[in-house]
Amino acid sequence: MKPTTLPVKARAHTNIALVKYWGKKDEDLIIPQNSSLSLTLDQFYTDTAVQFRDELAADQITFNGRTLTGDAQRKISRFLNVVRDLAGITEFASVETTNHVPTAAGLASSASGFAALAGAASRAAGLQLAPRDLSRLARRGSGSATRSIFGGFAAWQMGHNDEDSYGYPIAENVNWDIAVVAVVLTTAAKKISSRQGMRAAVKTSPYYPAWVQTATQDFETVRKAINDKDFETLGHVSEENAMRMHALNLSADPSFTYFNADTLRAMAIITDLRAAGYPCYFTIDAGPNIKVLCQKLAVEKVVSSLQSAFGEDAVLVVHPGPGLTFITD
Ligand code: 2P0
- Select from 13, 157, 285, 291 the residue to mutate for testing ligand 1; criterion: most ligand atoms less than 8 Å from CB: 285
Q: Which residue has the higher pLDDT, 43 or 130?
A: 130
All structural domains of the chain with their residue ranges: 8-174+321-327, 179-318
Q: Which helix (H) or strand (E) holds 263?
A: helix 261-275
Report pLDDT for 191.
Answer: 85
- Select from 26, 142, 147, 258 the residue to mutate for testing ligand 1; criterion: most ligand atoms less than 8 Å from CB: 142
Report pLDDT for 125.
Answer: 98
Cβ atoms of 20 and 242 within 8 Å: the answer is: yes
Mean pLDDT estimate for the chain: 95
| Adjacency order of strands within the sheet including 315-318 | 280-284, 290-294, 179-183, 315-318
Residue 189 and residue 289: Cα distance in Å, rounded?
12
pLDDT tens by residue, 156-174? 999 999 999 999 999 999 9
Query: Is the pLDDT assigned to residue 258 strictly greater than 70?
Result: yes
Residue 192 and residue 250: Cα distance in Å, rounded?
13
Q: What separation in Å is there between the alpha carbon of 216 and the centre of ligand 1?
A: 17
Tell me what the mean pLDDT of segment 13-29 comes to: 97
Report pLDDT for 188.
Answer: 77
pLDDT tens by residue, 275-319? 999 999 999 999 999 999 999 999 999 999 999 999 999 999 999
Report pLDDT for 231.
Answer: 98
Q: What separation in Å is there between the alpha carbon of 133 and the centre of ligand 1?
A: 19
Tell me what the mean pLDDT of segment 170-183 comes to: 95
- What is the DSSP track for 108-147? --HHHHHHHHHHHHHHHTT----HHHHHHHHHHH-GGGGG
Q: What separation in Å is there between the alpha carbon of 109 and the centre of ligand 1?
A: 10
pLDDT tens by residue, 102-131? 654 556 689 999 999 999 999 999 999 999
Count the Cβ atoms, other than its own, within 10 Å of residue 104: 11
Residue 179 and residue 181: Cα distance in Å, rounded?
7
Tell me what the mean pLDDT of segment 73-92 comes to: 97
Cβ atoms of 127 and 326 within 8 Å: the answer is: no
Q: What separation in Å is there between the alpha carbon of 143 and the centre of ligand 1?
A: 6
Report pLDDT for 198.
Answer: 98
Report pLDDT for 106.
Answer: 55
Query: Is the pLDDT assigned to residue 329 strictly greater than 90?
Result: no
Q: What proportion of the chain, given as a percentage, has pLDDT over 70?
A: 98
Class of domain 179-318: alpha beta
Query: Which atom of ligand 1 is closest in space to residue 285's alpha carbon?
Result: 7
Report pLDDT for 189.
Answer: 74
Report pLDDT for 190.
Answer: 79
Tell me what the mean pLDDT of segment 206-219 comes to: 98
Report pLDDT for 111.
Answer: 94
Q: Is 87 in the pocket of ligand 1 (CB under 6 A)?
A: no
Q: What proportion of the chain, given as a percentage, has pLDDT over 90?
A: 92
Instruction: Indicate whether this complex's ipTM tops 0.95.
Output: yes
Task: State the CATH architecture for 8-174+321-327.
Answer: 2-Layer Sandwich (3.30)
